[in-house]
Amino acid sequence: MAKGDSDMLQAMNSLRSNEKSSLNSENVGYYMDVQYANLQQKLAGINITTVRGEQDIKITIPGSLMFDSNSARLNSFSEQPLLLIADVLTEYYKTLIVVEGHADNQGDADYNLRLSEKRALAVGRYLLNHKVMRPRLYLMGFGANRPVSSNQSDKGRAANRRIELIIKPVMDKPPDHF
C-alpha cells in the first residue's frame, strides 16, 4: 500500500471511530445520492463536472476556472464555485474529501508536480476556511502523471490542468472493496 493510501485509510479510520461522522451500510447510498443531487443543483451552469461513482462522487474543476497560468493563487472566478462546494461539503460531513491537483506535460516535470501540489493546497485551505474540517481533507498533487486527455493539443492540455475533488463516504465499517 502506498503511503498516500495508508494516510487516507488512517484518516477514514479516525473519522469512522466517531459515530456521528460515519454512515452505516444501509444509508450510505442514499446519503451520497442526495449529496450528489445537491452538488449538481448548486453547480448547474458552471463549467464543473460532477460524476457519481459506485462508492464516491468526483468533481472536476478546470484549472482555468480556479487559477491564472503558472499560479497557485485562487483567482476571482474560483470564489463562487468553491463556496458552493464548501457549503455542500459542510452539510454532508460524513465524507472524506481528496483534493487532487493535476497539470499538463508542458515544462519541467518537477515544477508541474510542485504547482499541482500547491494548487491542491490552495483549494484545501479555502475549504478549511469555509468550515470543512481538517480531518476530512486529504491533499495530493500529481503533476502530469494522470492525464485525462492527450497533451498533443491545446484543448487536451487544458483538460489535463484541473482540480479533482473525490468525495468518499466514511462508513461505520469498511466496504468489501475500496
Per-residue pLDDT of 16-64, as tens digits, reads 445 456 777 778 999 999 999 999 999 999 999 999 999 899 999 999 9
Amino acid (1-letter code) at residue 159: A
Query: Which residues, including other chains, have CB under 8 Å from residue 9's CB and lie 6 or more apart?
Result: 1
The C-alpha cell that represents 66 in the structure block: 480556479
Q: What is the structure's pLDDT at 7?
A: 55
pLDDT at 20: 59
pLDDT over threshold 60, residue 9: no
Residue 81, pLDDT above cutoff 80: yes
Cα–Cα nearest to 67, from 120, 139, 105: 120
Q: Quote the pTM value.
A: 0.84
Question: What are the extents of the domains in the chain?
Answer: 62-172
Q: Percent of the chain beyond pLDDT 70? A: 84
Question: Which residue in 130, 31, 32 sits closest to 86, CA to CA?
Answer: 130
62-172, CATH topology level: 60s Ribosomal Protein L30; Chain: A; (3.30.1330)
Number of H helices, E strands in the chain: 6, 5
Residues 6+ apart with CB under 8 A from 128: 134, 137
The per-residue pLDDT for 24 is 76
| Least confident among 26-35, 42-51, 78-87, 159-168 | 26-35
pLDDT (0 to 100) of residue 11 = 47
By CB atoms closer than 10 A (0-12, 13-18, 19+), residue 108 is exposed
